[in-house]
Copies of this chain bind each other. A is one copy, B any other.
Amino acid sequence: MPSEFDLIRRHFTRPARHTDLAVGDDAALLAPRPGMQLAVSTDMLVAGTHFFADTDPEALGWKTLAVNVSDLAAMGAEPRWAVLALALPAADETWIDAFARGFFACADAFGVDLAGGDTTRGPLNLCVTIFGEVPAGGAITRSGARAGDDLWITGTPGQAALGLAHLRNKVALGPDAARTCLAALHRPQPRVAFGQALRGVAGAMLDVSDGLLGDLGHILECSGCGARVDVAALPLAALHALGADDALARRCLLSGGDDYELLFTAPPARRDRLAALAQEHGLPLCRIGRISANAGELLLREADGREHPTAHSGYDHFA
C-alpha cells in the first residue's frame, strides 16, 4: 500500500500559479495583493451527513471545492487559494485519483491554487478552507439589506433539491430533466464572476446552501429587517418544465438546499444596472420580493394576493 506521503505527492501536487510556497512544508506561504482584504471560509463535508458514501468521487471532488468557492462568490470575492484536509477510511488510490481529478477541475475553473493540506485515516471527511481577495471595504456581507430594497435570486434554484428528490424516488424525472438536476446537485456552478460584478450594486448577499427561505432568514437577522417574498415572481416555471408539480417545485425552490445561487438585495434604482449585468453574464435573474422594516418578519404573498408569515429557520444538522 502506498504511504500517506506518496499518496499526497502523487495526487495533490500540482504547480502552484500564485502561491509563494505550496504543499510540502509546515505551512504554505502566500501574499494577498496590495489593497486587498482576504476573505476566508471553511466547510466540512461528512459522509452520511452531506453526501452518500458511494457518491461518485470525481463529482465529490468538484463539489467539495465548489461549495467553498461559492462562499467567496457570496462575498463578491475572487477565489485564489485553498487548503484541503481529508480523513479517509483507507488509502484507496482509485478513489483518491478520481476525487483529486474533480477537485482540480474545479480549482482550474475558478483559478484556485491548492496551497496545502493534511491527509489522515478516519471516517470519510473532507474539509476545505478557501481564501480569496476582495478590494478592502468592498465585500458584500449579510448585513447590508435596507427596507425598500428589492430581493433577487440568480439562476434556477430548486434544481439540486429536485435532483435529490429524484435520487430518493420521490419523483420520477425524465432522462434529460434528471441529467440537468443531478448536474445541479453534483456539480454546482458557483456564481463567482457575477458575485464580483455585484460589488457596489448589491446591499446584502449570500449563497443559498440550506434553502432560500432559511438563508434569507440569515440576511434578515444580520440586517435587522424583514422581507416579503412574492410567490408569483418565483422562477417556478423552470422546475415545472423539468417535471415537478406545483407543490414539489415550490418546496424545492423555497426549502431545498445545495443550489449555491446568489440571494441578494439592491435598491430599486439599480434594476436597470442589474438587468444589464444579467444579460452580460448570460445569467437568469429574478426579482422575487422586497425588504421591509419589520425586523424578523418573513411574509409569503401568494399568487392570489393573500399574505401569510412563514418560518425561516435554516437547516440544522442537530435538529
Q: Which residue numbers of A lie inside 8 Å of B, CB to CB?
A: 1-5, 7, 20-21, 24-32, 34, 36-44, 46-50, 71-72, 74-75, 77, 81, 83-87, 90-91, 115-123, 125, 127, 129-132, 134, 136, 139, 141-143, 205-207, 222, 313-314, 316-319
Contact = CB atoms under 8 A, between A and B. Distances in A.
A130 to B, nearest CB: 8
Nearest to A77: B27
Nearest to A140: B26
Contact of A72 (B27, B46, B314): B27
Q: List the 6 shortest-distance A-B pairs measured between CB atoms, nearest first.
A: A46-B122, A129-B129, A44-B85, A123-B123, A27-B41, A27-B39
B42 A85 contact: yes
A26 B127 contact: no
Given A25-B206, A122-B123, 20 more contacts: A4-B318, A24-B222, A25-B222, A27-B77, A30-B40, A38-B38, A40-B83, A40-B116, A42-B129, A44-B86, A49-B87, A49-B122, A87-B125, A90-B318, A118-B127, A120-B317, A121-B317, A125-B127, A127-B127, A129-B129
A240 B152 CA distance: 69
A130 B36 CA distance: 19
Contacts of A127: 42, 44, 85, 118, 125, 127
A3 B318 contact: yes
Contact of A121 (B24, B34, B49, B119): B49
Interface centre among A44, A83, A131 (most CB of B within 10 A): A44
Given A127-B44, A206-B26, A319 B139 contact: no
Contacts of A50: 120
Nearest to A91: B318
Given A24-B222, A142-B25, A37 B42 contact: no
Contacts of A90: 318
A146 to B, nearest CB: 17
A29 B37 contact: yes
Contacts of A319: 1, 3-4
Given A37-B30, A141-B21, A85 B7 contact: no
B129 A46 contact: no
B26 A75 contact: yes
24 contacts: A1-B318, A2-B318, A3-B319, A4-B318, A7-B318, A21-B141, A24-B142, A25-B143, A26-B205, A27-B41, A27-B132, A28-B41, A31-B32, A38-B38, A40-B83, A40-B116, A44-B85, A44-B86, A44-B87, A44-B127, A49-B120, A120-B317, A125-B125, A129-B129
